Every structure is written in C-alpha cells, then in structure tokens.
Amino acid sequence: MRQTATTLPLLAMAMSITLPCSCAPGTIASDPLRIDSGLISGIPGRTPGIRVYAGIPFAAPPVGNLRWRPPQPVQPWQGVRNCSRFGPSCPQPKPLLGGDPGVESEDCLYLNVWTPAANETARLPVMVWIHGGGCTTGSGSQPYYNGEALAKQGVVLVTINYRLGPFGFLAHPLLSKESEHGVSGNYGFLDQIAALKWVQANIARFGGDPGCVTIFGESAGSASVCRLMISPLATGLFHRAIAESGGAGGRDRHLREPHRRQDSAEAVGEQIAAKLGCDKAADPLAALRAKTPEELLAASNPAQGLFGKGTKFGWVVDGWAIPDDPAALFAAGKQCAVPLITGSNADEGTVFLQQLPIQTVAGYRLTVRALFGARANELLNLFPANTNADVLPALNKLVAVTAFVHPARNLVRWMPRVGAKAYLYQFSCVPPMAGARGYGAFHSAEVPYVFGNLMPGSAARDADQALSRTMSAYWAHFARTGDPNAEGLPAWPAYEATSDQYMELGNQVRVMSGLYKQACDLLDGADVPVAAP
C-alpha cells in the first residue's frame, strides 16, 4: 500500500516483482479470450499453469468531460488487445518518503487478473483486491500485490485501480446539480463498484465463479470493503469480505452538511475551485475540468496518513452510494450478510508517529486529554508514559487500539445481527527489516504474507515462510467456502462476544482472547477521534 510515509519504502524498495516475459512457461488454455468489450491476450506467469492479464480496461477513461462523472462503459475494440502491461496509476502526490507509482494518468481505470484455470469451466473462487493509500495514493499494480503466489492456492485473483484524491473524491454543488442522483464526490468508490460489475460480467471467461467473489483490502481498501458492505449499489456483487486494518467508522464527510468538525464535501470542493480561480469563471465546471492534474493536486494538497496535513479525501455520505454513516448502518444490522474476516496489526501506530510532533510526557498527556475528554485518564492508565522514552511506544499502542483494534472488534460484534459469521485476527509477526528499524508489526506488514510475496530477510526465515503459507491458505479457503478453516490449518473459531476469541498470526498461530479488552470496552460508544484511513 502507499498510504503512509513508511510502509512504502519498506515494501517497495525491498521487492522487485514484475510481470514475466512473454516467453515464460505456461500451460493454461490458449488466448485470445473474449470479454464483453473485445478479445484480449495475456502472458504466462512464472509458475506453469498461471496466466496473467494486465491492464484490462473496466471503464472508459475518466478524462475530459468524464472527469468527475460516474464510470462509463468501455468502448469495444476491434482485434486483439495485448494485456501484458499494467495500466497507469491515478495521478497522486509524491509519497512522503519516496517510492515510484510508475506511469500516472487520469486514464487509470484498469484491472489485472491472475488465473490458474485451465479452461472456462473451472469455476474457481474469485478474490478482488482493493488497494490502500488513504484514498490518495497507490494502485493495483504495486509489486507486493503480485497475485501469482495467491493464485496458486486455486483462486482467480483480481487487483483494481480506482480514482484517488481530487480525481476520485471531489464534490461540488455544481457537480451534484449535473448528476441525475443529485450527488457528487464518490467517483473512486463508484469505480470499485464498476470493477465488481466487470467481474460479474467477465470473470467466468478466466475460469472464475461470479457466484463466489471475495472482496478484500487493506487500510483504505479495507475501509472500502466495509463501505461496499453497506452500499445498495454493491448488493449481490460479492459473497465474502476480508477487511485488513480498516473498519466502518471514520471521518466520512457528508455531502452538504458539516459533520464531526469537518466541512461538507461540497464546501471543500468550492474551496478548491476558489483556489484555482474557477469559481469566477462563466462555467466553473468547464474551468475545473480544464485544469491539469498537476494543478488539481497542488490546489487540493491531498493529505497522507492518519495525521498528514492537507485535504483529507475519501468517501462521502451522499444518501445514494453511501446512504448514511457506515458504522451506524453496521450497528443497525443493515450490512450485507456475508462471512467476514477482519483484524489489525500489533504495531499499527509506528508508521504514523512521524506525523506527530509529540515527544514528551507532558505533550502526550495533553494530547490524549484533548482527544478523548472524559475517557482520557483511563486511557492514560492503560497506555502510560512515565518518561519521554515511553511516549512513542505508548502512542503506537494507543493509535493501534483506537484506530484499528477497536473498529475490528466492532465489525465482528455487528455481523451476528445479520446472521453472518465473522473471524477476528491480530497479526504480530515482525519482519526483519521492520524490526531493525523499530517499526514492529507495522501497518500493512501482513500484506506480503497474504500474497506470498515476502520481503528479503523474511523470505529467508522458515517461520515467515510457514506463516505466509498459513495465511494464504486461510484467505484462499475462506474465499472458497466462507470459512477459513481447512485440514492441516490451526482451528480458527468464529467470533463470539462471550469468549472474545481471535487468531494470533505471528511467530505462533494460536487462538487467544480478550485483545485489549479493557480499552475496547472503554471505547464502546465513544466518538473516537482517531480514525483509520
């Protein structure tokens, strides 16, 4: 993922996974494949039997007059489209500590497929990955999302792009006025829905089962999974869900009204239009659509991470795609009744702490009291800092629990209200590079283990290899059956509030209970000010 200043270098600089050359071995059925927009050809994977299709358009390029409109159908093409290269990433700010998003373009609505199927009749389970990045950065073609190893588990793996930042989540009264639904601002979210519709229409051609689709994602991708679970526009498009380090709560803007000390989404759009001088144009929308991507990024200054400065872009409660606050809809039992895996990492806070200037005990205590009010003293007792050296470790755990652990526990406690099973985990493995830098089991650390793309150092350790095999097997079996349990894997009980059990995924894979129970009980019903991206 690319949502933080730290996780990107840890992963991207350590990995160099690319698409294989067209001469690599492969045994899958021959191309071309016919999808609804035309014929495509892919390339063999490095593993015999895996075939890769990269850069498949699932919507028309959202450029020109289609900027800030819902995704439109792909224009059919003649001949065979070569799908051997990833599509461009959405334009985005430079990640805080480096990393290369590759080619960037507003023409970014592409997805990628890895399939082990020998023919169209295989009917394999399908997994659709939604990348993280705080709705501001990232893409589905990043090297640590390479789907070949996970596809070897017997699933068809899909990764998607969607519009980001001001391209995907800018609202404006005039944009709402031109919409047949009277709304604006959720274009990136609508892209995700369009990709799922593409899967329903086309994935059988790749040997996938459109009746067995799992959506999964991390951070902003995880929060997107939760919002897809409450969107009426996504009903029937998926059948299982996995939410890694991101929940239903958050600071979703409301379309027209200020909410939780945030300006409305339309007001933010008006502010950006004014910065660009478009508010005084005869046709403000035409003037906005004439601005270059660089001008839009400069004027909007998209925020990164939990505490980054700038404009926070993301989902909009618009009464249509997102009918109400997602957490409220989950609590009311209005989410999709699909099996769910969700959880968090032991050291979620470490990569965000560089965005906070807090270094002293006094500063820590003042901050906690300002953020948590009446609950501050109890939280300070649970996460104490008695010396300045204690401040960062205490902040790490406080952020991890308030922004990730507690939201995940909420999710698994809400799912029985719709009769669906849920499985809770915490990832506690510390990759060698992360341990050397003091990041611990950091935000996004589990992603290479799920995908089977371990970083150098981790790949050399037998324990990491074993954990990766176990996690990939859990995820794939869940995609197949709605239950992660399978022969040869440690038994993972479905969550029940009375036992409060979860699976620890670390140096040991074992069932534990009561993860930060005191803190989570304290936070129940609170308006938590720290919300995951």
477 is catalytic: no
Range name among 221-225, 246-250, 294-298, 482-486 with the lowest pLDDT average: 246-250
What is the model's pLDDT at position 328?
96
Q: Where are the alpha helices (DSSP H) in 144-276?
A: 148-151, 165-169, 173-178, 187-202, 220-228, 265-275
What is the rounded radius of gyration, in angstroms, for the C-alpha atoms of the chain?
Answer: 22
Residue from 348, 406, 468, 477 carrying the catalytic annotation? 348
Q: CA 479 to CA 161: how far, in whole Å?
A: 21
pLDDT above 90 as % of the chain: 85
Residue from 254, 443, 458, 504 carrying the catalytic annotation? 443
Encode pLDDT of 444-467 as tens digits. 999 999 999 998 888 889 999 999
Residue 12: C-alpha distances to residues 5, 137, 184, 410, 460 (Å):
12, 14, 34, 32, 18
Whether the Cβ atoms of residue 144 and residue 451 lie closer than 8 Å to each other: yes
Encode pLDDT of 80-136 as tens digits. 999 999 999 999 998 765 557 789 999 999 999 999 999 999 999 999 999 999 999
User: Which two tokens mark 235?
Assistant: 């009903």
pLDDT over 70 (residue 211): yes
What is the model's pLDDT at position 1?
34
Q: Which of 31, 27, 117 is nearest to 80 (CA)?
A: 31
Q: Which of 28, 97, 23, 84 is nearest to 54 (CA)?
A: 84
- Give just the sign of the alpha carbon dihedral 241, 243, 249, 251: negative
Residue from 139, 141, 176, 219 carrying the catalytic annotation? 219
Residue whose pair of structure tokens reads 């830098």 in the numeric block: 437
Whether the Cβ atoms of residue 365 and residue 395 lie closer than 8 Å to each other: no
Instruction: Give the chain's end-to-end CA distance (angstroms, integer).
Output: 12
Domains of the chain: 7-523 (3.40.50.1820)
Question: Which amino acid is it at 172?
Answer: H
CA atoms within 13 A on the CB side of 343: 27
Q: Which of 520, 527, 486, 482 is nearest to 500 (CA)?
A: 520
Whether the Cβ atoms of residue 424 and residue 495 lie closer than 8 Å to each other: yes
Residue 158: C-alpha distances to residues 178, 194, 246 (Å):
33, 13, 20
Q: Is 406 exposed, middle or buried (0-12, 13-18, 19+ CB in 10 A)?
A: buried
**Would you put residue 41 in left (φ > 0), alpha (ψ -120 to 50) or beta?**
beta
Q: CA 143 to CA 55: how far, in whole Å?
A: 14
Residue whose pair of structure tokens reads 């799912």 in the numeric block: 415
499 is catalytic: no
Mean pLDDT of the chain: 92
106 is catalytic: no
Whether the Cβ atoms of residue 348 and residue 306 lie closer than 8 Å to each other: no
Q: CA 289 to CA 419: how far, in whole Å?
A: 46
